Amino acid sequence: MSIKDRVAIIGVGATKFGENFEMTYQDMALEAVYEAYADAGLETKDMDAAWLGTLSPGLTGLEGDAGASLAEPLNFYPRPVTRVSAYCCSGMEAVRNAAFGVASGEYKMVLAVGVEKMREVPPRGSLVARHIHETHPVISKGRTAPGIFAPIATRYFHQYGYNKETLAKVAVKNHYNGSLNPKAHFRSPITEDTVLKAPMVVDPLGLFDCCPTTDGAAAAILTTPEIAKDLKKDYILIKGMGLAVTYGYFSMAFQEDNDFLGFKSTREAAATAYRQAGIKDPRKEIHVAEVHDCFTITELVNYEDLGFCGRGEGGKIIGEGVTALNGDLPVNTSGGLKSCGHPVGATGVRMVADVVNQMRGRSGKRQVKKADFGLTHTLGGPGSIACVFVLGRP
Amino acid sequence: MTNYEKFLKFQGTLSNKPLIPYSSWALLWKEKKQNLQLYGTRCKKCGTFAYPRRRVCQKCNAKDEYEDAKLPRSGKIYTFAKDHLYPSPDPPTVMAVVDMDGGGRFYGQLTDCDPAQVKIGMPVELTFRRFHQGDGFYNYFWKLRPQEKS
């Protein structure tokens, strides 16, 4: 039996994304959850369990290393809270596991929350720096987060003849969308010229090809479709969800079948989610999507891996405006990781919240015309894990 | 002076304090065959080669049915990137993905080479180098360099 139509999302919330120096980890968790409570007209006493996605408790006094970091600010005791972690898929893993909690019949009403506080450490303590000096002593030496994705851009250019200007179009689109999103980390529209003149981080990726590190939290409330209907709430159904783990962390770049033109994990996770949801032609059947644009090149290969276009056509459809806010298939209407920001554990839950709001017509200036089917996608580690959700109107 | 980052470092504006990367005696000993002697594994059932080493074959799933097999020392660059973020006295650090001649793939630092000259398809070879110090010893591993013309 598949997950299709067995779980409803009846409330979502998120903090503003950015440098939230005025809020602790627990404050952010609380703000996101109470916004979701207000959306659903529910409170803690209505909840049976929760899942918490956080990648790195080491960035914030070990907050987020167990479910207690969510239970404490909510006074959620003594209910079960499970902390999950799966690189940048941590947030969507919280939603996925919460959905299984409901679908199993064990719980009627659950919370899925993602939280990450990344900005209160000096650069040497950042996730980026820790990635450099705390990983495998020799096999990983020379690697950085953007450094893992930049070789994909090099190969993509070589294979298909695209260039840095193609990548710049992704940054310009997502910054424009972010400028309309009151909760986005970066709210300034930019031009292709800004992107192309920015300093190189890992050539061919410049500063504006990279997403920021961000503070933020997001929450979603999940229940059965029957309860959602009884509560007379404007709810959204989970139509399909797939998680795929296709390589190890350090060995992925050594694998000969890795073509550095896309991600097998995304293709596998999407195949599962599409099969469950009955999606045959994603380009036509999906109306709005949030995808993992940690770097501009990632968004282009995601289009291809998710079946929004053929292999090698990602650079073509961004140029044609297909994925722009007013295009046929708007992608990252929030501004994406690039402009909305990327608090790792929060991102997947935030994507679900954004797509749910698009499908309920609550996205303000960013509202797309038609959104009966929506998609969210996160990609973790060097691309060795991916999670894809298909959401639908009842 | 070839770049601004170097200028800032020499001037003392950017910290020259070294990071203290993770080192481990236990790992050094455990992974000696792989990291120092370049031994990967070859499945005795189906012949599939793996580097880094694998106990379960990634093609036929045979467990602990492998023999040691060396990663070839030369190959051609499949893709690469020039990293200005990775701490180095001489940025950028060029990282290259290399398809080895005769099978296997390596991903690591390219050295002894002008970053502007790096191209997909360029012939390179492995060279044994000293890496960072930590825990009272030096780490050693392999880097890539352009193949010497014979």
- Distance (Å) from the alpha carbon of B19 to chain A's nearest alpha carbon: 7
Which pLDDT band holds residue A220 (cuts at 50, 70, 90)?
very high
pLDDT score at A330: 98
CA distance A223 to A98: 9
Q: What is the token pair recorded at A72?
A: 């404490």
What residues in B contact A135, CB-CB < 8 Å? 22
Going by C-alpha positions, the residue among A131, A144, A201 that lies closest to residue A167 is A201
What residues in B contact A146, CB-CB < 8 Å? 83, 85
Q: At what angle do helices A90-103 and A344-359 cross, to 10 degrees?
A: 60
Closest chain A residue to B133 measured between Cα atoms?
Answer: A137
pLDDT tens digits, one per residue of B37-94: 999 999 999 999 999 999 999 999 999 999 999 999 999 999 999 999 998 888 999 9
Give mean pLDDT, residues A56-85: 95
**In the predicted model, is pLDDT for residue A225 greater than 80?**
yes
pLDDT score at B90: 86
Q: Are strands A81-84 and A49-53 parallel, antiparallel or unpaired?
A: parallel
Residue A345's Cβ-side half-sphere holds a number of Cα atoms within 13 Å equal to 34
- Distance (Å) from the alpha carbon of A317 to chain B's nearest alpha carbon: 24
3-state secondary structure of A202: strand
Residue A207's Cβ-side half-sphere holds a number of Cα atoms within 13 Å equal to 7
CA distance A351 to B6: 40
Helices (H), chain A: 25-40, 68-74, 90-103, 127-133, 145-160, 164-179, 192-197, 225-230, 264-277, 282-285, 296-305, 314-320, 336-339, 344-359
Task: Match 């996205």 to its residue by tokens.
Answer: A363
**In the predicted model, is pLDDT for residue B150 greater than 60?**
no
In the sheet where A216-223 sits, what is the strand order? A81-84, A49-53, A109-116, A216-223, A8-14, A236-245, A385-392, A373-380, A288-290
Nearest by CB: B95 against A143, A152, A256: A143
Per DSSP, chain B holds a count of helices (H) and strands (E) of 3, 8
pLDDT tens digits, one per residue of A331-362: 999 999 999 999 999 999 999 999 999 999 99
Rounded mean pLDDT of chain B? 92
- Distance (Å) from the alpha carbon of B107 to chain A's nearest alpha carbon: 6
Question: A-B interface: how many C-beta pairs under 8 angstroms?
Answer: 118
- Catalytic residue selected from A88, A210, A309, A387: A88
What residues in B contact A132, CB-CB < 8 Å? 19, 21, 85-87
CA distance A221 to A13: 9
**In the predicted model, is pLDDT for residue B5 greater than 90?**
no
Q: At what angle do helices A296-305 and A264-277 cross, to 10 degrees?
A: 50
Q: What is the token pair recorded at A197?
A: 């003149």
pLDDT tens digits, one per residue of A128-155: 888 888 899 999 999 999 999 999 999 9
pLDDT score at A320: 98
Q: What is the token pair recorded at A81?
A: 């809270």
Q: Which amino acid is at A253?
A: A
Nearest by CB: A132 against B19, B23, B141: B19
Which pLDDT band holds residue B4 (cuts at 50, 70, 90)?
confident
Task: Match 């990967």 to its residue by tokens.
Answer: B40
pLDDT tens digits, one per residue of A66-75: 999 999 999 9
CA distance B46 to B65: 10
Which pLDDT band holds residue B17 (cuts at 50, 70, 90)?
low
Do A216 and A350 touch, CB atoms closer than 8 A? yes
What value does the CA radius of gyration of chain B take, rounded to a whole number of Å?
18
Going A15 to A18 to A20 to A25, the CA torsion angle's sign is positive
Do A112 and A222 touch, CB atoms closer than 8 A? yes
A88 is an active site residue: yes
Q: Which amino acid is at A223?
A: T
CA dihedral in degrees (A119, A125, A128, A134; nearest 10)? -150
pLDDT tens digits, one per residue of A229-241: 999 889 999 999 9
Do B75 and B96 touch, CB atoms closer than 8 A? no
Nearest by CB: A147 against B35, B52, B86: B86
CA distance B75 to A155: 17
Going by C-alpha positions, the residue among A332, A346, A276 that lies closest to residue A92 is A346
Going by C-alpha positions, the residue among A252, A259, A245, A306 that lies closest to residue A160 is A259
**In the predicted model, is pLDDT for residue B112 greater than 70?**
yes
pLDDT score at A132: 85
3-state secondary structure of B93: strand
**In the predicted model, is pLDDT for residue B12 greater than 80?**
no
- Distance (Å) from the alpha carbon of B28 to chain A's nearest alpha carbon: 9
- Whether residues A256 and B103 touch (CB distance < 8 A) is answered with yes
pLDDT score at B18: 61
- Whether residues B82 and A133 touch (CB distance < 8 A) is answered with no
DSSP designation for A58: G
What's chain A's length in residues?
Answer: 394
CA distance A75 to A79: 10
Give mean pLDDT, residues A163-180: 98
Residues 6+ apart with CB under 8 A from A391: A9, A236, A237, A238, A239, A352, A355, A356, A359, A373, A374, A375, A376
pLDDT score at A117: 96
CA distance A140 to B31: 14
Do A132 and A144 touch, CB atoms closer than 8 A? yes
CA dihedral in degrees (A135, A141, A147, A152; nearest 10)? -100
Which pLDDT band holds residue A378 (cuts at 50, 70, 90)?
very high
Give mean pLDDT, residues A300-308: 98
Which pLDDT band holds residue B2 (cuts at 50, 70, 90)?
low
What residues in B contact A199, CB-CB < 8 Å? 84
Tell me what percent of the residues of chain A surpass a pLDDT of 70.
Answer: 99
